[in-house]
Amino acid sequence: MIGLFKQKTPVNILVLFISGILIKLPVFIHPLKPVANSDAAFLYKKLFEFLDGYSSGTPLLFPVITYLLLFSQSLQLNRLINVNRMMQRTTYLPAVAYLVTTSLLPEWNIFSPSLIANTFVLLVFNSLFSLYNEQRVKGTVYNIGLCAGVSSFFFFPALTLFIWVIFGLLVMRPVRVNEWLVCLLGVTTPFYLYAAWLFLNDQWSWENLIKPVSVSVPHVVQSAWLAGAGLLLVIPFLVGGYYVQDNLRRMLIQVRKNWSLFLIYLLFALFVPFLDKNPGSLENWILVVIPFASFHACAYLYPPRRWFPTIIFWASVLFILAYQYFGTGW
């Protein structure tokens, strides 16, 4: 299976789509309807109400939308890595790694604000990676801020990723305060438009405009399944990190900076779930999947012994199947 996805052929997209459905099959067999909190972000609440109105009493629509989001994000990540030549060859391994990684925990396969925020994070990555070779960057920097601002209307704690964006600008560009201000303008634009909408509809208040943020610990039930998922997240990540480091000297400076951005983002994404007022177990930790899946893809590609990535891949698949049919939560 790993050998198949090392080849970048169009038919692999169809194989990937079907394989993703099979590995997430319990989500479709036993669909669960998500619950939108009363203080959920504005756009997420509106989107949830819209989809709920078309669900016709069956929650199957939500797993379908969730899978389409996950699949599209996997292709986004795959294109991001291939276009920027972050690996030695163009493959579909990043997309495979993304779908496998998101299958390790059931909470990462439900319709949630943080899942939608991941799409905007990938758009920000794409724009940040393009800054290195651009001369006129103000439009791109504004779009980066705009994506960060819009993402907070689905998952408000994602607004704190603006700090990561500033670090990203420091890595990719010389220090220019005017570019930071342009980025800040992009972040505040959705809030300005939303404030105007609230005012025109006689709903103006600071509580409606800016959601309260508090530090809280996500509710995590300790189990052997959670420990197993953690191991299958960390071990391929460390292996992939080793091979990225080993190939660092042969990489272009831009590619090195791109991998650095993944690691910087990971540090910020690990703390974002603690800022959610209503921590939903592990669902908000899906923000860390992007860098994890990227390094997992390297663990599938670089080892000289072919049996090693095969063992990692099939161990992950077997664990996922065992968790789905013998564990709880799916």
Note the pLDDT tens digit of each residue in 135-169: 788 899 999 999 999 999 999 888 888 899 999 99
pLDDT per residue as tens digits for the range 202-254: 888 777 777 766 777 767 778 889 999 999 999 999 999 999 999 888 888 89
In a domain, 207, yes or no: no
Here the tokens at position 264 are 């910087």
Distance, first Cα to last Cα, the chain: 25
The answer to whether 209 and 191 are in contact (CB under 8 A) is: yes
Residue 165 is assigned to a structural domain of this protein: no
Show the domain range for 278.
2-115+215-326
146 in a domain, yes or no?
no
Domain assignment of residue 272, yes or no: yes
Evaluate whether residue 197 is within a structural domain: no
Average pLDDT, the chain: 89
28 within some domain? yes
With a threshold of 0.85, does the pTM exceed it? Answer: yes
H-type alpha helices, 33-172: 42-54, 61-83, 93-102, 113-130, 138-151, 161-172
Residue 241 lies in a domain: yes
Per cent of the chain over pLDDT 90 is 59
Summarize pLDDT for 50-64 with one digit per residue, the tens: 888 887 767 889 999
- Per the structure, the count of domains in the chain is 1
**Cα–Cα distance, 45 to 97 (Å, whole number):** 30
Contact 194, 153 (CB under 8 A): yes
d(CA 318, CA 243): 25
Quote the pLDDT of residue 277.
67
Please report whether residue 299 resides in a domain: yes
When pLDDT is averaged across residues 291-318 and rounded to a whole number, the result is 93
Average pLDDT over residues 271-286: 79
